[in-house]
Structure 1
Amino acid sequence: MKKIIRICLCLAMLFIAIGAHAQTAADGIYSKGMALKKQRTKTSLTQAIANFRKAKGLYATEAGKDKCDAQIGACNYLLKRINKPKPKPKPITKNDAQKTVVEEVAQVDKHKNVEISLSEDYLDFKSRMEGGAQSVTVTCNYDDWYIEDQPKWVKASKAGNDKIYVEVEDNLGKEKRSGVVSIKCGDVDVDLVINQKKADITRKVKEGAVKVWKSLFGGKKDK
């Protein structure tokens, strides 16, 4: 009996060790994916997606899998932006070019050793904007950080020097969507991934039925 108990304990410890190793490996692959994502090229983003998918397969927790899904969605969004045709640039005069260089140099000189981070890597929203805006805390050693870019369906706004409030438009599509809010300070930027669920078809059908009922019977139901 003691031998059986000892064997069971050994097996349990072995499985725990294997699980811990898998989680450590997943963390390493995830970190590699994040580093590739920051490069923001077609090749690096494609490689980042592969890393996030691999990490997702190794994570045992839903939280680990969810953060991988969030980054995969963000990478796909960034790839679409890269592939989107860019408008023809306006002709730049010599004075404009000199002014731009001076401004960029001043910006770099002003911000040294920038440190910026977010309290959340991603936010999840339902298909409809319910429950108000969500907030994220921004920690930065400079106050003049700003929101550089965001999807059209996202409304992110700076509040004070340490908060961002995020709202989204209703998602009426058949697919969930993801986007990236880019926050920048000096030459350093961080990404906040925004995920939104696809439209609730069942709810839309119910609402449609209610509208038809109201149009026919004025909203009153016979008892």
Structure 2
Amino acid sequence: MRSLLEGVKRYETMKRPRYCSRFAALANGQEPLALFITCSDSRVVPSLISLADPGELFVVRNVANLVPPHVPNGERGESGDASVASAVWYALEVLQIRDVVVCGHSGCGGVKALLAPPPPSAALQRWLAPAASAVEAWRKHGPLDPSFADHDQLSQISALIQLDNLMSHEHVRARVDAGDVRLHAWWFDIPSARLLAYSKAAGRYVSIMEAEDHGEAPSRVSIVNAAE
């Protein structure tokens, strides 16, 4: 806690004066550039890896950067959680965000739990239940990049599965099909501090610069289509 307090003190003296005018403008509202869905892991810092300023990212964080699929009214969802769906709806329908990023990462504890015996936490078991589809896809189609450890291979595929889960929400599908929203799968490799983006042309994750060189700005990718 002491280090946090020291950080706050440095913010007050070094950073706050530089950002006062920025936050004064943001007090009137926000216009984020992207919805950024990522893991709760402390090693993944969206504003750092994208160099985004305050007000530029609408961030949703949870264990294993999951997007539970839409569950029709009257049916009980496996995760029993509506926080992600509500944040996605607000981002697209109210803030009119046009780009959605799902960003996985290496060494994800939540993904590792999918390959291990069920965790003792009932809440974590319920939350991870919808991610079984990612495990199935990985085992059926194999890895996108076999050079990574098993849990990282699964993490890369899981990020793609979350794009399909996003498309299960009717309002998301409508906006993507209309060309108003684009979905992106990114992956942060912690040991190298390198950010990768899924390339449909390459069939794997590549550097952001390489994806741009290919002229790619993927609107939607399916792990099933990508692996076949």
Same fold by TM (over 0.5)? Answer: no
Shorter-chain TM range is: under 0.3
Tell me which of the two structures has the higher relative contact order, counting C-alpha pairs closer than 8 angstroms and 6 or more residues apart: 2
TM-score (norm 1): 0.24
Q: For the pair shown, which has the larger CA radius of gyration, 1 or 2?
A: 1
